[in-house]
Amino acid sequence: MSAALSVRALSKRFGELQALRDVSFDVDAGELVAVIGPNGAGKTTLLSIIAGLQAPTAGTVSRGADEVGWVPQQPALYTKLSVAENLALFAHLEKVGDPRAAVERMLEQTDLRDRASERVGRLSGGNRQRVNVALGLIGDPPVLALDEPSAALDPAQRERLWAFIGGLARAERAVLFSTHNVAEAQRYAGRVIVLANGRMLFDGPPLVLLREVGEDEHGDLERALVRFLAQRAVTAQAGER
């Protein structure tokens, strides 16, 4: 069975800055994959290239922009329009074959039908983010890329959002998300990809990353990530000598 998404030897340079360096991985349908790492690691650059917002300097992505739903950290919503009007507008922008049916589908999938006529500017942060995710799904893409999807939400709102995103993965959509909240990656992701200085240092289940630094299954993934990155830095320095 072929992967839902294949990234091969992806690199991105901005002038003298090498934002990504030869990154390769696959994501299967139904997988929920977290991209983690320090600030400036290349997480947003990676996701935005996968979503087709910018071109790589080198490498390939198996999906076109129309096959990847993009959910940016800052919601691209029109606050004076209703939920349904936002969905209809984006359905037309995405050139969806049947915009009305797409709006109905997303209202159902996101459990926003009761909010359909409400102006987005009056919604809670959690409901606004659900609309943001719905816009990324309006074209029914097989892959969804989310950049820090829960960054501005309170704990209860995050819980509801992750229940929804987990449902998307269980429905055989490939979901790739970045987060600075490593505990979220540990709790919800089946796999984590660790980036640092544009390089992919790890790709595997959270438990394997924990074991890399001597933690058991009950260990703290954030602490393990800090130790892992420190160890890799020491190894890199030793290799340069």
Q: Among the residues of the chain, which ranges form H helices?
A: 43-50, 83-93, 99-109, 125-137, 155-170, 182-188, 206-212, 221-240
**What pLDDT shows up at residue 233?**
79
To which H or E segment does residue 120 belong?
A: none
pLDDT, tens digit (0-9, with 9 covering 90-100), for 70-111: 999 887 899 999 999 999 999 998 889 899 999 999 998 888
CATH number of 1-60+144-201: 3.40.50.300
**What pLDDT shows up at residue 136?**
92
**What pLDDT shows up at residue 236?**
46
Among 5, 19, 85, CA closest to 51: 5
Question: What global pTM score does this model have?
Answer: 0.90
**What pLDDT shows up at residue 21?**
96
C-alpha dihedral (141, 155, 184, 114), degrees to nearest 10: -10
DSSP string, 156-208: HHHHHHHHHHHHHHHTT-EEEEE-S-HHHHHHH-SEEEEEETTEEEEEE-HHH
**What pLDDT shows up at residue 172?**
93
Where exactly are the structural domains of the chain? 1-60+144-201, 64-141
Q: Are 77 and 127 in contact (CB under 8 A)?
A: no
Among 170, 157, 198, CA closest to 58: 198
Spell out the per-residue pLDDT of the chain, length 241, in tens.
579 999 999 999 999 999 999 999 999 999 999 999 999 999 999 999 999 999 999 999 999 999 999 999 887 899 999 999 999 999 998 889 899 999 999 998 888 899 999 999 999 888 888 899 999 999 999 999 999 998 878 888 888 889 989 999 999 999 999 999 999 999 999 999 999 999 999 999 999 999 999 999 899 999 999 999 999 874 544 343 3
